[in-house]
Structure 1
C-alpha cells in the first residue's frame, strides 16, 4: 500500500489538485478551498489494490476516516452488499469516531483506489490543540452536508408517500406459523384496514425489494440463537425495516433480558414485547401504533395544506421550489435524470374575458385535475402561476417525459369544458415544454428556462403541442 503524507511542501501541487477534486464532491462543495486544503493536510494519501479491505465488520480498533479520491468502495454486511461509494469526496468511517461501537460493516476496494486516510491518532488530541479546530470543521461540515442530503432524500420520499393511495402495509417476520397467525389476528382486530405481508425468516425480509414501504413491522428475532453473537445480523434486520419506513415492534423471548432490550432499543426498535405475550398486550401496542399513524397523517395533511394551491389543489410555488431544490441536491450525485414539464392553457385570457373569472377558475381546476390524474406516483404537479403549471418527474429521462407530456396534452384536448367551442382554435387546449436534468441544464434557473423555451416555441407553432428544445 503506497502512502504519501500531505503535510509536506513537496506535495503542494498534489494537495491543490486533491482539494479541487474532493471540493467538487457532494459533502465538500460548500466548504472554502483553503479550509478544505488545511483539513486534507492532516491526512495521508494512500493507494490500495482491488479487494483490499479497509474496515472489518465487528472490529473495535481505533477508528480511521477515509475520503475517496478515485476508485470504488463496497460496503458489505453479513456477506450482503449494502452500498457502493464511487464518487470523489465520498466518506466512510466517520460514525466510528462519533460513537464508540464495533464497525457495522466491511469496506472493501472494488477497484484500485486512491484515498486520503485520517489516522486514529488524529482523533486523540488535546481540545486546546490547533488541530482540534480543524477536526471540528471537518466533522461539523461533514455532518451538515450529510444532513442536507438526507433531508433532500426525505423530502423526495415524503412526496412519494403523500401521493400514495393511502394503503397501509404491515409486515410480520416470524418462523412460527402459529405465532404469525396470532399476530395476524391482532392486526385484523386493532387495524382492520391494514394489508399484511408475512415473512418466514429475517433473510427473506432483507431480500425483499427495498422499494416496498411498510408502516409497521412486527418481527421475532428468536431466529437468531444468540443476539449478542449475531448482533450484526440483528442490526442489519432492524436497519432494513427502518429503510422501508416502518415503526418496529420486536416480539421475542429475547426481550425478557434487560441487556437485550437495551441493545434492541439502541439499534432502532420502537417497541418491545416479550414472548409469550397476551392477546391484550399485542392488541394494545398495535392500536397505539395505529393512533400514532393517523396523528402523523393529520400532521402531514396540515403541512400539505400549507403547501397547496387553494384554487387547484395542486402543490403551490413554495412546495415546488423545495422539491426542485431537493432534486438538484440529490440527483447530481445519484447520476439520475429528472424532467420538468411546463404547461400553459392556450388562449386562457380570451376564455376568462369572454366567460368571467368564475368560469376561468373552473377551467384551471379542471386542467389541474387532469394533470394530477395523468402523472406517476412520486411526481409533483404544481401551479406555477396564473394559467401555468409544472410537473416534476424524478427518475425520468427525456423520452419518457415527452410521452407523459403528450398524454397530458391529449387528456386536456379530449376533455369537455363549457364553451370550449368558442375558443380561437375551436377547443380548449394546453401547450407543453419539456426539459431534462442534466441534459438541458445543471441548475434550476437554466432548467426552468429550457422548459419555458419549449413552451413558447410550441405557442409560436400554433399551440396544442409538446416541444422539448433541442429535441424537436
Structure 2
C-alpha cells in the first residue's frame, strides 16, 4: 500500500526521522515545518494522511487539526497527532479537535506503520465513497451527506473477549457512552456468536487466562462470514512478537496496556468507521449494478440485459435440446392513456403492469421492459403450447382487473396484445425468435388486440 503522508513538525530532526521511517516502507512523504505551511500544502496538494506534532510555536497542532477538519477540501484527511504529552486531557483535546489517532514520542516503529496503514486504507475508502457519491448524484442516485459521513462511527455493536472482570469493566466503562459492548469470556462461544450477531468490531485480549486470543483471531479470519470483521487486540507492553504475529494474521489494530480510554475510543472509532465505509461502498456498487441492468420505473430488467442474457439462454437451449420460448407484449392503446390522463398515470399503469407480469411467470423466466409499453418474457424449458398458456393467463390477469389511476377510486381498463415464438429450427438465432414473436404480436393487434397469437413458423 502506498499513500502520500504530510509530516508536520517545527524540529527538522523529527521531520527527517519520520520521513526516513515512512520512506523505508514506500510511502511518499511531504514535509512542513509550521501549522500555516501545513494548511497551505493540504489546500493545494493531494495528501492522504497528516502526521501532526502538537507542540509547535505560533499555531499548535490542535489548531491546525481544527482548521483542517473545518475545510471541505481537507476535512476527510486523517490526522495522527504526535505528542510528548501523555495525559488523557491532551488526547481528549485532540479528539475534540478532530484527530483520528495518536502517537506518543518517542514514536515506536511498529505503532507508526500500523497506524499509518490503517488510516491510509480508511482514506482510500473515503475517497472512493465520495467519488461514487458524486457520480451517483449525477446519475440521479441520492448522495450521502456530510452529517451522515460523520455519523458512520458514532454508534456500533462491539464484542469484547476478556476473561478478567476488572479489565473488562474498565473497557466497557470507556466505550459505553458511544457503543453497545457485549462481553464474552469464552473464545469458543464468541466464535459461535459472531456470524449472526451483527457486530461492528471485535476486541480481543491477548492476556486471556484460559485461552489463546491469537487463535481466536485466526479462526475469525478463516471463516467466510467473519473474514472482514475488524479486530482490535489488547497487548501487554513489550509483547512485540505476539503483536507482530497478530498483525500478520490480519488483526486491524492494537492497543497496549495500561489502556488510555481516549486512545481506545479513537482506535474503535477508526475501525468502525472503516467497516461502515466498506458497507456503504458495497451498497453503492450493488445499486450501480442494478441501475445498469434494471429499468428504473418498473424494476424489470432492461433491453441491454435482455439482449445479453437471451443469448446465454439460447446457447444453453441449443446445447441441451430443451425448448425455449419468447413472449412479446404490447399494452393496447397506451398512448391514449398518457394523452388523456397524463404521464404520471401512465407510469402507474406501467408499474402495475410489470407487477402483474412478475406474478404470472416463474422465477427462472426473464421479464424485461424493452422500452415504452413493450415488454418481453423469455421462458426456458417451455414449449410453444405451454408458452401460449402462460401468455393467456397473463392476458386475463391484465384485462380482468382494472388499473388504478391514483386519483381517488378512478380505474382504467387496460388490455395487452401478445405474440409467442419458440426455438425450433437449427438455423434459429435469438434475433430470429424475437422477430417471429414480434410478427405474431402484429397479428394479434391486427386481429382486434387483447389477444395472444402463437407463431406458426
**Class of the TM-score when normalised by the shorter of the 2 chains:** 0.3 to 0.5
Q: How does the TM-score come out when normalised to structure 2?
A: 0.39
Larger Rg computed on CA atoms: 2
* TM-score of the superposed pair, with normalisation by structure 1: 0.38
Q: Which has the higher contact order (CA 8 A, sep 6+)?
A: 1
